[in-house]
A and B are shown apart, each in its own frame.
Chain A
Amino acid sequence: MIEFDRVSVTYDGATEPALRDVSLIVPEGELALVIGRTGSGKSTLLRAINGLVPHFTGGTLSGRVLVDGRDTREYRPRDLADVVGMVGQDPMAGFVTDTVEDELAYSMESLGIAPDVMRRRVEETLDLLGLADVRDRALASLSGGQRQRTAIGAALTSHPAVLVLDEPTSALDPQAAEEVLAALQRLVHDLGVTVVLAEHRLERVIQYADRVIEVPGGAAAVSTGLPAERMVTAPVAPPVVELGRLAGWSPLPLSVRDARRAAVALRRQLDSAAPVRSVAALGDELARCADLVVGYGNVMALRGVSLSVKAGEVVALMGRNGAGKSTLLNTLVGILPARSGTAVAAGTDPHRMKPAQLVKAVGLVPQEPADLLYAATVADECSAADSDFKVPAGSCRALLERLAPDVALDQHPRDLSEGQRLCLALAVVLCGAPPLLLLDEPTRGLDYGAKRRLVAILRELAAAGHAVVLSTHDVEMVAEVATRVMVLAEGELVSDGDTAEVIAGSPAFAPQVAKILAPLPFLTVGEVADALDRAS
């Protein structure tokens, strides 16, 4: 169905090619998973499938890309619209109309499909993706999962043979991601659509993949293979695979279900062992909310939240999109005022404080790290931060060196990868050395390597006496780093306790290792390895 024949892509003005000599074939009806670091060329590969590279982006493509027998050299993206459906990273950015039904019909209108056929396909797609209830709703009022499914539906109505998705679940909470993946699964199984999918969150998708395309970036060659084979040696792997490697299971299980069946012996072996968890040395109370109510207009985003965070803790804030996580963080830095109740950050009322003093007490890395960055180069940004926070020149750059040593100082902050940009924003915020550090969904778009570095940084900060609160959907990251988990639902705090207590028992929030080894209290592969070491 898709054939790359010695394809290389070089963007205008770049010295190195973004893709080098790629040859691969994706047969009809397969789900191919594209993996690789951020910035390794995954998006370029995906966009070459429907000709956006090079027709839209510019640059030079050598070699040949054939999709359903059509050569992208001769067909523009719009001429391939009936063969390839494309779903971008942010569904909102790709919407042309304003209601679900119109959006589904848009590509068919452009293709000139007859009105009665259009009507039928829209109805079928609404049912296929479970969108019938929201058909008249404005796109802006949908939840993240519904938006992503609408975007998939909009690409599907023109009945393309190939569906290309760029990180479809990276911004979604676990439940919404399940919905989207279930829909994709149906497309592959029932309709025989060929799906090509790039994703960092391997733990969510690896079990559905028929083929893995690894884009290592740099000079290394792009290679393909079966998921189970690739995972034996892959440098980045989801916890289920790492546990399988640790226990020496063969064939390597990719889903929790397979792993659970293989884990009978392991569970027996670990029966008497218990994970050793370092207990955080708690210091002073750095954040406290009492009966906090915060609202926008007549919508109450937080309804009576009481909590306390002490120095040395890493608190994970979880819950659905729209549960009030960001509102809580924004209130703690004083961006939003409390309607009633109190919010105290580092001993002060954040809303009353002058920004210049506030940044020394509490720092927030917002969901969009780029909001914090104004300068034209990384170096300028660092020196601006030094003067903003009134710290000696070079402090910010030193912090950045430690967080992300590979960042080129003459780059524009918007040209950095997601992970690098996050590190830059984090370095800027840490300039003020705030005792209370807040991060709003820091793991969006981060690959395993970047996540691992973030975990190490957060642990270090907590050990140095900072209190860290991060909101996230990433349960594996929570299991690694958090000492305490709070779950918000509809603006109320529904659970607050030690990580193991809160997430291990929850069907949605349990990490893979906990699911595989239940009822044993293990959360991460590291803990299991540790317990096995001690046993032998």
Chain B
Amino acid sequence: MRAVHHLTLPRALHPGAWWLWALCMAVAASRTRNPVLLALILAVTGFVVAARRSDAPWAHSFTAFLKLGLLVIGVRVVLQALLSTRSQGNTVLFTLPQIPLPEWAAGVKLGGEVTAEALMTALYDGAQLAVMLCCVGAANALASPRRLLKSLPAALYEMGVACVVALTFAPQLVTDGRRIRAARRLRGRTRASFRTTAMPVLEGALDRSVELAAAMDSRGYGRTAHAPRAQRRLTALCVLLGLLGILLGVYALLTDSMSFPFAAGALAVGVLLAVGAMAIGRQRVARTRYRPDPWALPEWLVVAAGAVAAGAMVTAAARGVHGLLLDGPLVVPPVPWLPVIGVLIGLVPALAAPPLKKAVA
């Protein structure tokens, strides 16, 4: 067995594996509004993040996404309380002063009676979205999007470089802006204007990008692209269309908003287009890759764990297993055993993903 297949050999897991696993967990969350299952999914992703994240700056993003999730729940509940109507239930908790609205807004009610049913529904809906956000946060914490971009297929290389450069420039713009705002004080000015803030920042960014372009040119960027421009554009277009098709297919399959044959068709065409274009694209690119992240047994295990979790939930939902959706907002949530086991399998990466390299003391 090659060394990369060992589960205990310290190395960084392929970023693609982390993202696939996290997206699978998000899919699992999208199938249920049962608070027990949602809490379980959150706990599973949180545990894996705690077990396998590095000390890189982006590794703290899980907390940020958690806060964002809480905000989503809060906004949802407050809005529901303001717009609540009796149609959702009859357990009135308290009554807000009602604001009279003009004639044209006849269907909308602002304030008035707030029912427990409405609040609980909003809470569960918000929680679902929050947990899905946290799954993306987990992927962010475990593998930065920048590392993911590095393992982009060769046909998308140019686009990947553009994204990486943009990711570097964005924080730089913020520091520039701060510095220039501080400098305004030195001119005795208190008020900001486009001329004194945005202009210097933009000028600086432009200077920097020209310099970066010169540096990239002198370091051989773009030297190996022998393909004519038209062909290059066509490949990129095919890849993009393919990805769009895949996206559309997956979305349609998950939300049941389109008929099954259409969704499956879009998915198939998308996969075909993307794979074909990438195969053609790979032939013309003579670039090599420095220490590419390997895809070995741990990666397969991590992705499989996510797939099992998502699969269990999707199947359960399709079969109409009792407990994924609550009978009513105020019942005690049941604990369906099949989805619970499925979600718990999502814990596997905490063990299957190799530990991180420790800095040599």
Which residues of chain A are near B146, meaning CB under 8 Å? Answer: 98
Distance between Cα atoms of A98 and B170 in the complex (Å):
14
A415 to B242, CA, bound (A): 46
Chain A residues 96 to 132 lying within 8 A of chain B, measured CB to CB, are 96-98, 101-102, 105-115, 118-119, 122
Interface: B259 (CB within 8 A): no
Q: Which of A112, A155, A330, A432 contacts B286 (CB 8 A)?
A: A112
Give the Cβ gap from A179 to chain B, nearest Cβ, in Å: 22
Digitize A47-86: 1 where CB-to-B-CB distance is under 8 Å, 0 elsewhere. Answer: 1001010011000000000000000000011111110101
Q: Is B220 an interface residue, CB under 8 A from the partner?
A: yes
Q: How far is B291's CA from A113's CA once the two chains are assembled, in angstroms?
A: 12
Q: Is B221 an interface residue (CB 8 A)?
A: yes
A109 to B288: give the CA distance in the assembly, Å: 5
Instruction: Let me know if A102 and B290 touch, CB within 8 A.
Output: yes
Contact in complex: B189, A111 (CB < 8 Å): no
From 235 to 289 in chain B, residues with beta carbon under 8 angstroms from any chain A beta carbon are 286-289
Chain B window 137-181, contacts with chain A (Cβ cutoff 8 Å), 1 for yes, 0 for no? 000000000100010000000000100110010000000000110
Nearest CB on B from A79, distance (A): 6
Instruction: Tell whether A428 is near chain B: CB-to-CB under 8 Å.
Output: yes
Q: Is B319 positioned at the interface, with any CB of A under 8 Å from its CB? A: no
B219 touches A370 (CB 8 A): no
Query: Can you give 19 A-B contacts (C-beta < 8 A)?
Result: A56-B214, A86-B219, A93-B215, A96-B161, A96-B216, A96-B219, A111-B223, A111-B224, A115-B288, A115-B290, A119-B290, A158-B219, A334-B185, A355-B189, A356-B190, A366-B179, A371-B179, A371-B200, A374-B195
The answer on a CB contact under 8 Å between B199 and A155 is: no
B199 and A111 within 8 A (CB): no
Q: Is A372 an interface residue (CB 8 A)?
A: yes
Q: How far is the CA of A83 from the CA of B333 in the complex (A)?
A: 70
A354 and B187 CA atoms in complex are apart in Å by 11
Q: Contacts A93-B208, A158-B219, A359-B186 known; list 13 others, CB within 8 Å.
A: A56-B214, A86-B218, A94-B214, A105-B290, A107-B219, A109-B287, A111-B220, A115-B288, A155-B219, A355-B186, A366-B179, A371-B180, A388-B187
User: Which A residues lie within 8 Å of B221 (CB)?
Assistant: 78, 96, 110
Given known A-B contacts A102-B290, A109-B290, A78 and B217 have beta carbons under 8 A apart: yes
Cα A334 to Cα B146 in complex, Å, equals 37
Q: Is the CB of A114 within 8 A of B288?
A: yes
Which B residues touch A113, using CB under 8 A?
Answer: 288
Known A-B contacts A78-B221, A122-B290; the reply to A366 vs B186 at CB < 8 A is yes
Interface centre among B224, B289, B290, B291 (most CB of A within 10 A): B290
Identify the closest chain B residue to A117 (Cβ).
Answer: B288
Residues of B within 8 A of A358 (CB): 185, 188
What's the Cα separation between A354 and B146 when bound, in Å?
Answer: 43
Contact of A429 among B186, B190, B213 (CB under 8 A): B186
A189–B214 alpha-carbon span in the complex (Å): 29
Complex Cα distance, B184 from A101, in Å, reads: 38
- CB nearest neighbor in A for B292: A115
Bound CA–CA A47/B291 (angstroms): 32
List residues of chain A with CB within 8 A of the CB of B208. 93
- Across the interface, B214 reaches (CB within 8 A) one of A52, A81, A111, A355, namely A52
In the bound complex, CA of A482 to CA of B218 (Å): 42
Residues of A near B190 (CB, < 8 A) are 354-356
**Is B222 an interface position by the 8 A CB rule?**
yes
* Contact present for A388 and B211 (CB under 8 Å): no
Q: Is B71 an interface residue (CB 8 A)?
A: no
The size of the chain A interface, using a CB distance under 8 A, is: 67
Q: Are A78 and B218 in contact (CB under 8 A)?
A: yes
A371 engages B183 (CB within 8 Å): yes
Q: Binding site of A, secondary structure by majority: helix, strand, loop or mixed?
A: helix
The CA-CA distance from A94 to B218 in the complex, in Å, is 10
Tell me the number of A-to-B contacts counted with CB atoms below 8 Å.
156
| Residue A385 is within 8 A (CB to CB) of chain B in the complex | yes
The chain A residue with its CB closest to the CB of B184 is: A355
- Kindly state whether residue A217 has any CB partner on chain B within 8 Å: no
Closest to B161 in A: A96
Binding site for B on A (CB under 8 A): 47, 50, 52, 55-56, 76-82, 84, 86, 88, 90, 93-98, 101-102, 105-115, 118-119, 122, 138, 154-155, 158, 330, 333-335, 354-356, 358-359, 363-364, 366, 368, 370-374, 385, 388-389, 414, 428-429, 432
A375 to B, closest residue via Cβ? B195
Give B62-99 interface residues, CB cut-off 8 Å to A: none
Chain B residue contacts of A106, Cβ below 8 A:
219
Chain B: CB-nearest residue to A49: B218
* Nearest chain A CB to B193 CB, angstrom units: 9
Chain B at the A interface: SS class: helix
Q: Nearest Cβ distance between residue B55 and chain A, in whole angstroms?
A: 11
- Complex Cα spacing A118 to B288, Å: 9
B224 and A112 form a contact (CB under 8 A): yes
Find chain A residues with CB under 8 A from B183 CB: 366, 371-372
Which A residue's beta carbon lies closest to that of B197?
Answer: A374
Q: Quick check: B217 and A77 within 8 Å, CB to CB? A: yes
CB neighbours of B288 from chain A (8 A): 108-109, 112-115, 118
B215: chain A residues within 8 A (beta carbon): 86, 88, 93-96
B201 to chain A, nearest CB (A): 10
Determine whether B182 belongs to the interface, using a CB cutoff of 8 Å to chain A. yes
- Pair B188/A432 contact, Cβ less than 8 Å: yes
CB neighbours (8 Å) of A118 from chain B are 288, 290
Asked whether A428 lies within 8 Å of B220 as measured between CB atoms, the reply is: no
A93 touches B211 (CB 8 A): yes
Please tell me which one of the listed residues A81, A97, A114, A371 contacts residue B218 in the complex, with CB atoms under 8 A apart.
Answer: A81
The residues of A that contact B218 with a CB separation of less than 8 Å are 50, 52, 77-78, 80-81, 84, 86
Q: Which of A97, A119, A385 sits near B187, CB closer than 8 Å?
A: A385
Minimum C-beta distance from A130 to chain B (A) = 16
Cβ-defined contact, B164 with A96, below 8 A: yes
The listed residue with most B CB atoms (<10 A of its CB), out of A94, A95, A330, is: A94
User: Which residues of B are found within 8 Å of A56, using beta-carbon distances?
Assistant: 213-214, 217
> B188's contact among A102, A122, A356, by CB below 8 Å, is which?
A356
**What's the least CB distance linking B311 to chain A, in Å?**
36
Shortest Cβ distance from residue A49 to the other chain B in the assembled complex, whole angstroms:
10
Task: Point out the residues of chain B lying under 8 angstroms from A107, CB to CB.
Answer: 219-220
Q: Does B102 contact A (CB under 8 A)?
A: no
Contacts of B161 in A (CB 8 A): 96
- Looking at A93, A364, A428, which has the most chain B CB atoms within 10 Å of its CB? A93
List residues of chain B with CB within 8 A of the CB of A50. 218
Q: Is B212 an interface residue (CB 8 A)?
A: yes
Tell whether B8 is near chain A: CB-to-CB under 8 Å.
no
Q: Knowing A88-B215, A112-B286, A372-B183, say if A388 contacts B188 (CB, 8 Å).
A: yes
Known contacts A113-B288, A363-B186, A374-B200; is-contact A79 B211 (Cβ 8 Å): no
Per CB-CB distance, the 3 closest pairs between chain A and chain B, nearest first, are: A81-B220, A94-B215, A105-B290
Known: A78-B217, A122-B290. A359 touches B203 (CB 8 A): no
> A88 and B223: CB pair below 8 A?
no
